[in-house]
Amino acid sequence: MNDPRLSRQQGKAIMISQSVEYALRAMVYLAGQPDVGRTTDLIAKITRVPRAYLSKVLQSLVRAGLVNSQRGLHGGMTLAMPPTQITILAVVQAVDPIRRIASCPLGLAAHGVRLCPLHRRLDDALAHVEKAFASTTLAEVLAEPSESIPLCDFPPGQLPMVSPEALT
């Protein structure tokens, strides 16, 4: 028997795309590594994102001005601004923008820009998601008390001491 709740619990994002999920993982990781450049390979390994896919996502974040990319010996990826200034919405919009419903998706001339009750409610839900994402920063995500640490498979207080070089 297939329980629909199980597929959701196994990491299947319903409201956001895979690209957004990967971008958020990378941004949360970088937010926890202030002022230290990290290679795409390291970010991919830590966040469990395929390297080639991550590279494309990071390019979108660089173009949006959220991430800096520095080549060379002490280079790598860093946040372009403090985590307190980067919202979840900014990350989402850089990678796969939320598409609000401005006019009838069916193209019905009688509806025009007056949405029917169904599409108005769908757009209202999108507006709520947009508002929630806009009011949450990366710093808040990292500071939130939780039994789970973002991107980490160890309980709080039991983090192993591993250098980034050991992960490559």
- Counting the structural domains of the chain, the total is 1
The whole-number pLDDT of residue 163 equals 45
The first and second tokens of residue 167, run together, are 């992960």
Domain presence at residue 42 = yes
Provide the pLDDT for residue 146. Answer: 73
User: Does 83 reside within a domain?
Assistant: yes
Task: Say if 3 falls within a structural domain.
Answer: no
Question: Mean pLDDT across the stretch 93-109?
Answer: 89
Q: Please state, in angstroms and as integers, the Cα–Cα distance from residue 95 to each residue in 13, 115, 131, 156, following that order.
A: 15, 27, 17, 31
Residue 132 domain flag: yes
CATH number at residue 37: 1.10.10.10
Residue-range definition of the domain harbouring residue 136: 16-148
More confident residue, 144 or 66: 66
- What distance in Å separates the CA atoms of residue 112 and residue 102, rounded to the nearest whole number? 9
Band the pLDDT of 152: cuts 50, 70, 90: low
C-alpha dihedral over 70, 71, 76, 79, to 10 degrees?
10
Q: Is residue 166 in a domain? A: no
pLDDT at 156 exceeding the cut of 90: no
pLDDT in tens, 7-58: 344 555 457 899 999 999 999 999 988 778 899 999 999 999 999 999 999 9
In a domain, 2, yes or no: no
pTM: 0.78
Residue 5 lies in a domain: no
Q: What is the pLDDT of residues 115-134, one digit of tens each?
A: 888 989 999 999 999 999 99
Q: Round to whole Å and give the CA distance between 76 and 63.
A: 15
Residue 61 lies in a domain: yes
